Amino acid sequence: MNKNVQLKDLGLKDYKQVWDFQTELLDEIISVKRDNRKNSVQNATSNHFIFVEHPHVYTLGKSGDLSNLLLNEEQLKQKGAVFYKINRGGDITYHGPGQIVGYPILDLENFFTDIHKYLRFLEEVIIQTLAEYGISGSRSKGETGVWLDVGTPFARKICAMGIRSSRWVTMHGFALNANANLGYFDNIIPCGIRGKAVTSMEAELGKKVDLGEVKEKILFHFKNIFEVESFIL
């Protein structure tokens, strides 16, 4: 099993370009797995972790409800945003500058074959990262992602998650609101969940956070929780 992970930080990059890039990586891994089965060989499959920020974009998961987007095409243009219906799980979410988006493209057969466990591990990475800033993140039953003040009238989401997997290979991932402009969430019903707010690290701490530092902490906890051998630049 290959537990090395190739790391790429793409900076600010168009959503569709990165979606296509993820798909290429996933298809390459699946091609190796098919070849292994067909020819009874055991060539190692690769794993990848992509960091990126996106220009303003709304994405709707395959089972999502389009009515949760509260803007029409002209209003999207006025906001400088675009919209895509995509192939991950979950409903609607927003990505934009100041948000840390992470896309692990992993062959889970290198780690463990359990999608539920994979999502809980991703949540734990963010929970432990937030704890380093004195922010107490937690899970909300039946609602994937990381939340604050669960079970109170002030419950608010700080990190959204949505994935796709094929032949145990993952794509898409998480979006942590670090310094994101939360006003853009007013144009959707985030994740299709009414009556719950969205927050950011900046809003909770009263100051902007260093995105590079947060990414380093995410990688530290990801490496420990997933028992990654090393990140390869």
Q: Any binding-site annotation on 95? A: yes
Q: Any binding-site annotation on 116? A: no
pLDDT over threshold 70, residue 13: yes
* Residues catalogued as catalytic: 191
Q: Any binding-site annotation on 90? A: yes
- Confidence at residue 193, expressed as pLDDT on a 0 to 100 scale: 59
Q: Any binding-site annotation on 91? A: yes
Give the residue from 81, 77, 74 showing the smallest Cα distance to 95: 81
Give the residue from 94, 104, 97 showing the smallest Cα distance to 25: 104
Q: Any binding-site annotation on 21? A: no
Could you tell me the pLDDT band of residue 192, with boundaries at 50, 70 and 90? low
Could you tell me the pLDDT band of residue 152, with boundaries at 50, 70 and 90? very high
Q: Any binding-site annotation on 89? A: yes
Residue 128: burial class (beta carbons within 10 Å; 0-12, 13-18, 19+): middle
- Confidence at residue 195, expressed as pLDDT on a 0 to 100 scale: 62
- Cβ atoms < 10 Å from Cβ of 56: 17
- Confidence at residue 89, expressed as pLDDT on a 0 to 100 scale: 82
Provide CATH code, domain 54-102+111-227.
Answer: 3.30.930.10
Average pLDDT value for the chain: 95
- Confidence at residue 190, expressed as pLDDT on a 0 to 100 scale: 65
CB 219 within 8 A of CB 7: yes
pTM, two decimals, is 0.94
Q: Tens digits of per-residue pLDDT, 45-64?
A: 999 999 999 999 999 998 88
Residue located via tokens 């991932």: 173
Measured CA to CA, the distance from residue 168 to residue 181 in angstroms comes to 34
Which two structure tokens, joined as six digits, stand for 140? 């909300």
Q: Tens digits of per-residue pLDDT, 97-123?
A: 999 999 999 999 999 999 999 999 999
Q: Any binding-site annotation on 173? A: yes
